[in-house]
């Protein structure tokens, strides 16, 4: 999945909370999630669809119910991307430090 879709999905505070809930206790149905948060089941479904389209959540049909699970792979990819950005920034700062120390 694209980083843009993931960042867009995680840009909403409620979707981040849904991710936390699913990380702690999944699978969950939209009805179960709507009991936790001050939003309708339909509202929860809209947020779950965004999370599903970004690849952060999968859905399994069990009878008449859809159960939502967190998908760890995109989070691992996001974590690696953040780590790489941090490494590049740290390397840049070290080069700047060395340059300033060599000027003295």
69-83: pLDDT as tens digits: 999 888 878 888 888
Which tops the pLDDT comparison, 6 or 57? 57
Q: How many CB atoms lie within 10 A of CB 71?
A: 17
Fold of 3-103: Arc Repressor Mutant, subunit A (1.10.10)
| Distance from C-alpha of 18 to C-alpha of 72, rounded to nearest angstrom | 14
Residue 55: strand, helix, or coil? coil
38-60: pLDDT as tens digits: 999 999 999 999 999 999 999 99
What pLDDT score does 26 carry?
Answer: 85
Cα torsion 20, 18, 23, 87: sign: negative
* Overall pTM surpassing 0.85 (yes/no): no
Q: Check if the beta carbon of residue 44 is closer than 8 Å to that of residue 37.
A: yes
């Amino acid at each position: 999945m694209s980083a843009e879709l993931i960042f867009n999905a995680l840009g909403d505070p409620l979707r981040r909370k849904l991710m936390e809930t699913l990380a702690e206790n999944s699978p969950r149905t939209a009805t179960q999630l709507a009991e936790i948060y001050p939003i309708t089941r339909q509202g929860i479904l809209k947020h779950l669809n965004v999370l599903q389209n970004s690849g952060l959540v999968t859905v399994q049909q069990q009878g008449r119910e859809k159960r939502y699970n967190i998908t760890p792979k995109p989070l691992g990819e996001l974590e690696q991307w953040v780590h790489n950005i941090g490494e590049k920034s740290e390397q840049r700062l070290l080069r700047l430090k060395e340059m300033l120390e060599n000027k003295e």
